[in-house]
Structure 1
């Protein structure tokens, strides 16, 4: 008991010393904690309670009070009132003392717009009046079935664009921006970051008009916003909507980062643009993007482009027009069967789900990372490459196409590149292969790393799954990423015991001139990413997983 009080006294002394720090430092400490943890500090002492009462950052999510699936017609107002009461107390406490509200972030998974609109107007007004610098409002969308429901939107007040203090502004979800924004005075002179996602505009020109009055904007995100059309005469109960079709922005000399998705025609006058993520809308119309003007661009992500939009010399022109490009990502694009990448500056190239590509030729002597995720497994040839190159292959195990993974690895040229290959298995199909399907006439190539993010749930497929992998490659390092797709401890144990040669009776040595992969195995060392005694056995590691680390790794280091 004496020891307990001695320890408690020492803890209190340390807490007292922290409590004596300047309030600005204490606020900085709270800012680095999650909202619920920072709120708990108010019970530590009177000094911490005062610190919490004057904390100028409010980040509030409805998930802290209720889950949207638990809301019913009978209890909706009672649950929403919990959020309203909490926000009102926090805002009024600061507002009544004349204290600044530096950040106000509100994320609602469920909202009754008619019931809450008055409060939202009041809260935004209080935040702006107090000199708010960061304002975020995320509401559930107004989309209902195939049409927009007008009563499921919150009408954004004009007061928002009168703030001279705002540096970051983010609106997401069921928010409607009225045509009155076109004629109202915009005073966002300090705004550096603007995010508009899944909003509904009553006029297409509002976005252009709004952004053009943000002279120091550095980061811009416009994703899948829609334009509302007037009610049809034939059916006045139904409203119609279309994607925003175009974005024309001039004079954005400070813009460094742009993320534009769901817009078919984009023109940005941004000579200092450093990063661009672009995806046109899902339509048959051709996209228009002034890529050739971004001469300082270093990172480019292009999604959902089609072959009709990309000419034969597109890649050659791309790298000549963008001489400083270091990062290129192509995702879900319909491209030519063969593409050539030639760049002295390129360091990262990602080819993700571009199913038409069958051959990729890369001449990039400074390339450090290549990642590709495709189902048809193209051939990858490096004309010149860096000694630090890492190749990441994301694949599936599908016993219906037994040669696909093997060809994927064998199609990487030259062979010395294989020493830098990491293979990630992220999906498998539960179909049992035919007996003897994995016999091979040559030793599979050696790769650096194999990471399993999935595994068979059916015990009958344990050995075929493992045998298939090792008929395609011989990894020096195997890891299981836990807490994602793979949660089968039984499979990991089977995997380990097979590596240790305890199940040799199932191998195919008798029907093949090539010895099975595990016969050459000398040492298997087991490690894990969470802190545990290095001499702990595998079973103890697995039993400790839920207590130690929900997303950890167990790894096998192999020596042949």
Structure 2
């Protein structure tokens, strides 16, 4: 008996709101009750790929496909209007469509949503091709003024293919209830518009501004009569409710927000910048990308932790650093460094640190003066047979030794040049680490054994896992790895002498694990045959018990 269909309409609407747009639309064919529920669903979400695929659009059928979208939205919106229901959320995502023929309809839909007391407006338009800035501003959809006249909106998302004209500089803005704003790849008639728009939202809590531009009409020497330049500065004052901000592409950013807790700042590579976080002493999370114009060193970290005493999470990506860095913080809980150039030695004194992640081509010495007993260390590395000792040296250079028990290695890719067998010889069993995840494995069968031997000559993991993707891991490699671990496939041992043992001799017990459904008593061949044939998000792995090295 279908008991779900008998639930109150408000609960059914809540169920639909939690589904993907495509799946919620499909519920209308389940039964008469679900069809009625769908017809009164106050979220009007339109995505072009629900009606046609990009590759199916031709010059001849273009207008007929657009007409289907227009007809669908018209019927849904009129149905809600006739029932006297408000459109709580209006979402329009159109991909690779010329909006000049749709502008009038989009204007009407947004006006209807706003006048009915809509709370969420999500408008995402994409011009054909990768480089939208090549088009004339006339090809961008002109945002109507009614959007900033809404007193009921709580969330405003504007992304790509949208032009905000000069009238927004003087027109009254009434976005008194907006708490979330996302502006991405928009085209503004003047840089001051973006400042004015944000500053007139006194309740804003979550702000995202990504790669917006200004168009300058009738620029001399420009054949088409216009030119684009990035919005380079953002000055935010008096935003007392602001808690989260994501800023990308701005060279100069000034934020005065005493309750700001999270900031992501992404600069274009090698650009100079000015970042001033005045009165943001409550900051707890800071992520910085592409800060290449300064050299981040000990003084930079000292100043950072002094200015933001509650900072708990810090992420630096593609930043220029000094060769030797000392990081000291009693509050820091999460630290991630990715592709930070020049770094050779890193000393961390953070007694409450719970998570440390390192990613990069260079592999510095890392030491922890103080650390939590719950610390997890994740290292993302590429295997390079041209430097056979780098991975092992990297693991051994993580100090003190007790940290090894929390280290997880993620192998992403590799330069596979089959090494000389003598180069793989080791003088001792390598460090024991928590886990090894292979996000890559060689396709050439001749590289299977050198690859495995190189990894397990660098570390002895308590577990090895492979996130199964048929284009990343072949069943042949997984079977080879299994047989090597179980000792069923012969390979040469690489001990230097009878007094030293390599990883092969450290193995005691191997247990196979997987995330997909299989009889727990099934043998490995059956388990391997049950691996998904599609690109499923499943894992297969091995738990390794090692002999004591004492």
The TM-score bracket by the shorter chain reads over 0.9
Unaligned stretches of 5+ residues in structure 2: none
Deviation at 1:430, TM superposition (A): 3.5
Aligned equivalent of 1:168: 155
Q: For residues 558 and 406 of structure 1, what CA distance do their matches in structure 2 show?
A: 19
Return closer, same or farther for 1:278/1:422 CA change in 2, 3 Å cut-off.
same
Aligned equivalent of 1:354: 340
List aligned pairs for 1:120-139, cutoff 5 A: 120-139=106-125
Task: Tell me the secondary structure at the aligned position of residue 545 of structure 1.
Answer: coil
Aligned equivalent of 2:493: 507
Q: Deviations over 1:203-237 (max 9, x none)?
A: 00011100111010000000111111223223341
Aligned equivalent of 2:234: 247
Deviation at 1:96, TM superposition (A): 2.8
Task: Tell me the secondary structure at the aligned position of residue 531 of structure 2.
Answer: helix
Aligned equivalent of 2:540: 554
- The answer as to whether partners of 1:147 and 1:238 remain within 8 angstroms in 2 is no
Aligned equivalent of 1:8: none
Unaligned stretches of 5+ residues in structure 1: 1-10
Task: Tell me the secondary structure at the aligned position of residue 81 of structure 1.
Answer: helix
Please, what TM-score do these two structures have when normalized by structure 1?
0.93
- The answer as to whether partners of 1:530 and 1:548 remain within 8 angstroms in 2 is no
Q: For residues 7 and 132 of structure 2, what CA distance do their matches in structure 1 show?
A: 54
Task: Tell me the secondary structure at the aligned position of residue 468 of structure 1.
Answer: helix
Deviation at 1:510, TM superposition (A): 7.1
Aligned equivalent of 2:65: 79
Q: For residues 297 and 365 of structure 2, what CA distance do their matches in structure 1 show?
A: 21
- The answer as to whether partners of 1:128 and 1:163 remain within 8 angstroms in 2 is yes
Q: For residues 538 and 379 of structure 1, what CA distance do their matches in structure 2 show?
A: 39
Q: For residues 513 and 298 of structure 2, what CA distance do their matches in structure 1 show?
A: 49
Aligned equivalent of 2:254: 267
Task: Tell me the secondary structure at the aligned position of residue 308 of structure 1.
Answer: coil
Deviation at 1:121, TM superposition (A): 1.1
Deviation at 1:511, TM superposition (A): 7.2
Deviation at 1:45, TM superposition (A): 2.9
Q: For residues 19 and 496 of structure 1, what CA distance do their matches in structure 2 show?
A: 49
Residue 168 of structure 2, aligned match among 169, 174, 181:
181
- The answer as to whether partners of 2:103 and 2:141 remain within 8 angstroms in 1 is yes
- The answer as to whether partners of 1:292 and 1:318 remain within 8 angstroms in 2 is no
Aligned equivalent of 1:7: none
Q: For residues 388 and 278 of structure 2, what CA distance do their matches in structure 1 show?
A: 43
List aligned pairs for 1:262-301, cutoff 5 A: 262-285=249-272, 287-291=273-277, 293-301=279-287
- The answer as to whether partners of 2:258 and 2:280 remain within 8 angstroms in 1 is yes
Residue 387 of structure 1, aligned match among 353, 356, 373:
373
- The answer as to whether partners of 1:484 and 1:551 remain within 8 angstroms in 2 is no
Residue 140 of structure 2, aligned match among 128, 153, 168:
153
Task: Tell me the secondary structure at the aligned position of residue 334 of structure 1.
Answer: coil
Deviation at 1:309, TM superposition (A): 6.3
Aligned equivalent of 2:81: 95
Deviation at 1:549, TM superposition (A): 8.7
Please, what TM-score do these two structures have when normalized by structure 2?
0.95
Q: For residues 184 and 500 of structure 1, what CA distance do their matches in structure 2 show?
A: 74
- The answer as to whether partners of 1:441 and 1:512 remain within 8 angstroms in 2 is no
Deviation at 1:311, TM superposition (A): 6.1
Residue 41 of structure 1, aligned match among 27, 42, 51:
27
State yes or no: 1:329 paired with 2:315. yes
Aligned equivalent of 1:237: 224
Deviation at 1:307, TM superposition (A): 4.9
Q: For residues 23 and 294 of structure 1, what CA distance do their matches in structure 2 show?
A: 44
Return closer, same or farther for 1:80/1:399 CA change in 2, 3 Å cut-off.
farther
Q: For residues 191 and 108 of structure 1, what CA distance do their matches in structure 2 show?
A: 24
- The answer as to whether partners of 2:270 and 2:291 remain within 8 angstroms in 1 is no
Aligned equivalent of 1:522: 508
Q: For residues 163 and 91 of structure 1, what CA distance do their matches in structure 2 show?
A: 18
- The answer as to whether partners of 1:530 and 1:549 remain within 8 angstroms in 2 is no
State yes or no: 1:410 paired with 2:396. yes
Task: Tell me the secondary structure at the aligned position of residue 185 of structure 1.
Answer: coil
Q: For residues 529 and 364 of structure 1, what CA distance do their matches in structure 2 show?
A: 35
CA RMSD across the alignment: 2.0
Return closer, same or farther for 1:443/1:130 CA change in 2, 3 Å cut-off.
same
Q: For residues 410 and 426 of structure 2, what CA distance do their matches in structure 1 show?
A: 22
Task: Tell me the secondary structure at the aligned position of residue 205 of structure 1.
Answer: helix
Q: For residues 484 and 372 of structure 1, what CA distance do their matches in structure 2 show?
A: 27
Return closer, same or farther for 1:298/1:45 CA change in 2, 3 Å cut-off.
same
Q: Deviations over 1:467-522 (max 9, x none)?
A: 11011100011111113863311100000000011223333347786333122312
Q: Deviations over 1:75-124 (max 9, x none)?
A: 32222223222222212211232211111112122111211111211111
- The answer as to whether partners of 1:261 and 1:278 remain within 8 angstroms in 2 is yes
